[in-house]
Amino acid sequence: MSRKLTPRQVIARSYPTWDYAMADRVIAWLEDCGYEIVEKGATHPDASLVPAAPESVPSLDSTH
């Protein structure tokens, strides 16, 4: 059975002694910058925020 960690725990474990105070500050900073932590595979309510993939990449050689 795998252990599922919360985003707070994942961030805290990257600091010595699992620094939860630093994890809280990092999460608050990300939210202040407009980022949102979502579950893996979850769809975002505003899909327009996801940039569309280019259909083809133009080649510089084909212009001459």
Beta-carbon count within 10 A of 25 CB:
12
pLDDT the model gives residue 3 = 80
Q: What is the CA radius of gyration of the chain?
A: 19
Q: How far apart are CA 63 and CA 3, in angstroms?
A: 54
**C-alpha pair distances (Å), 32 with each of 2, 38, 62, 64:** 32, 15, 44, 47
Q: What is the mean pLDDT of residues 23-36?
A: 92
Q: Is 63 a residue whose pLDDT tops 70?
A: no
* Selection from 1-5, 21-25, 32-36, 38-42 with the highest mean pLDDT: 21-25
pLDDT the model gives residue 31 = 92
CA angle 61–54–45, rounded 5-degree value: 165
pTM: 0.58
Please report, as a single letter, which amino acid is at residue 44: H
